[in-house]
Amino acid sequence: MPANRPLVIVTRKLPDAIETRMRELFETRLNLDDTPMDQAALIDAVQKADVLVPTVTDRVDSKVLVRAGSNLKLIANFGNGVDHIDVKTALERGITVTNTPGVLTEDTADMTMALILAVPRRLVEGAEELKAERFEGWSPSWMLGHRIWGKRLGIIGMGRIGQAVARRAKAFGLQIHYHNRKPVHPQIERDLSATYWESLDQMLARMDIVSINCPHTPATYHLLSARRLKLMKPTAYIVNTARGEVIDENALARMLEAGALSGAGLDVFEREPAVNPKLMKQKNVVLLPHMGSATIEGRVDMGEKVIVNIKTFADGHKPPDRVIPAML
């Protein structure tokens, strides 16, 4: 890799301030019209670039990576999740992979809490009634939802985002429960008044609201399978701001349609950008277009982390946000 100005190819449009700074520091090729790259375009990029800056919409799989040029030494992902990158193949080919952890935590937790509020209180339904001019004045029995105060929230994945969700939920009077690969530090449990469940099955059967905040890995693909979804109470709600692949979306749609669950709030989908038509028809489902981290501040922070990772690597040092297989 050139010591000072590596060729950096960016796959999507990034904030102006980030693109400007990249052009100041590196030989940078931008995607000004923001058209997602198909496989052929990605292959062309990895054959030319010293550094590739992809996003979640880019499928940087083994078929792309085996065509990479010998000059490609760094994939500096614009985002935290790296399930769209074949990290194992990249490392085998001597390509370092970095991501942008931490900067999305509060934004994603905010969106999770918004969905936890929106679904039981029927906020979107109410807004649609108003827009359709069906509001005829207050009524004691109209648009009734459910309070969340005192309810049990089960968090799947108690990392940075899971803990940030727990902090918000505790302030709203929810009882905090969680399932994780291992318990968090005892002091964190005490601060959050959180109860650890080693068995996901047992936790699901007892929760009023379930929030998915774990990454998508081979181990978490369809973690909420049809069997596990059926363990949940019919009065329960499910919220997902992590990755759509963690839920068996078809099974979820069938259960919502049958009234076997009270509702869902989904910011991510199993086959994005496609959304299951059955989910689109449900009044008790709030659907968002992958907006969990969509704040100006968050996107700029992500870009700044990408720049630090590239600059550190180009200077001959280990970048701070390397993705290690043990982390996945």
Q: What is the pLDDT of residues 269-328, one digit of tens each?
A: 999 999 999 999 999 999 999 999 999 999 999 999 999 999 999 999 999 999 987 654
Active site residue 5: no
User: From the candidates 19, 189, 257, 272, which is the catalytic residue?
Assistant: 272
Kindly state the average pLDDT of the residues 35-42: 95
Kindly state the average pLDDT of the residues 74-93: 96
Active site residue 290: yes
197-226 as b/e: b if 16+ CB within 10 A:
beebeebbeebbbbbbbbbbbeebebbbee
Instruction: Give the span between the Cα atoms of 266 and 289, in whole angstroms.
Output: 9
Peptide bond into 273 cis (omega under 30): yes
- Residue 168: CB partners within 8 Å, gap ≥ 6? 109, 110, 112, 113
The highest-level CATH class for domain 7-101+295-327 is: alpha beta
Predicted pLDDT of residue 325: 78
Q: What are the CA-CA distances from residue 97 to residues 37, 52, 151, 180 (Å)?
A: 19, 10, 41, 25
Residue 1 has pLDDT above 80, yes or no: no
User: From the candidates 243, 245, 270, 299, which is the catalytic residue?
Assistant: 243
Predicted pLDDT of residue 76: 98
Q: How many other C-beta atoms are found inside a 10 Å radius of the C-beta of residue 286?
A: 22
Predicted pLDDT of residue 326: 65
CB-CB contact of 298 with 57 (8 Å): no
CATH 3.40.50.720 positions along the chain are 7-101+295-327, 105-287
Predicted pLDDT of residue 2: 62
Torsion angle, alpha carbons of 113, 115, 121, 125, to 10? 150
CB-CB contact of 227 with 198 (8 Å): no
Instruction: Give the span between the Cα atoms of 309 and 286, in whole angstroms.
Output: 36
105-287: CATH number: 3.40.50.720
User: From the candidates 122, 179, 228, 290, which is the catalytic residue?
Assistant: 290
Instruction: Give the span between the Cα atoms of 253 and 285, in whole angstroms.
Output: 10
How do residues 156-205 score in pLDDT, each as one tens digit? 999 999 999 999 999 999 999 999 999 999 999 999 999 999 999 999 99
Predicted pLDDT of residue 44: 97
Residue 255 has pLDDT above 60, yes or no: yes
